[in-house]
């Protein structure tokens, strides 16, 4: 499966410390094809550091790529609902950090 990661900060966070190493260790089943952060500089730095071919400074471009089957949302909770909804609306499967939302209603 081809994975796009939202929130792949090169310096810190679950993507850098957990998701990317785990997905790379499962390379027979998963390929990270794209990543996004909210800043061009950090997206480019993460792309270079992790060897991921495509980087965006917005999540819309990532979720609309044909070579992304699954979107991993690795940002803080307040953004889970918005990002998950955009990815689902684009027809993508979603993996989201816990908790899924800010309270039961969002989850």
- The ranges assigned to domains in the chain are 2-96
Which of 104, 68, 100, 99 has the alpha carbon at shortest distance from 84?
A: 100
pTM: 0.93
Give the phi and the psi of residue 60 in degrees, each rounded to 5: -65, -45
Alpha helices in the chain (DSSP H): 14, 20-25, 40-50, 59-63, 80-89
User: Domain 2-96 - what CATH class?
Assistant: alpha beta
Predicted confidence band at 106 (pLDDT cuts at 50, 70, 90)? Answer: confident
- pLDDT score at 79: 92
pLDDT tens for 27-83 read: 999 999 999 999 999 999 999 999 999 999 999 999 999 999 999 999 999 999 999
């Amino acid at each position: 499966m081809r994975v796009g990661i939202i929130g792949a900060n090169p310096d810190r966070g679950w993507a850098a410390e957990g998701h990317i190493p785990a997905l790379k260790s499962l390379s027979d089943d998963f390929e990270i094809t794209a990543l996004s952060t909210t800043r061009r500089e950090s997206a480019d730095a993460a792309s270079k550091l992790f060897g991921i071919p495509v980087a965006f400074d917005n999540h819309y471009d990532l979720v609309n790529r044909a070579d992304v089957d699954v979107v991993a949302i690795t940002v803080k909770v307040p953004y889970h609902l918005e990002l998950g909804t955009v990815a689902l609306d684009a027809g993508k499967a979603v993996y989201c950090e816990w908790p899924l939302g800010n309270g039961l209603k969002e989850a």
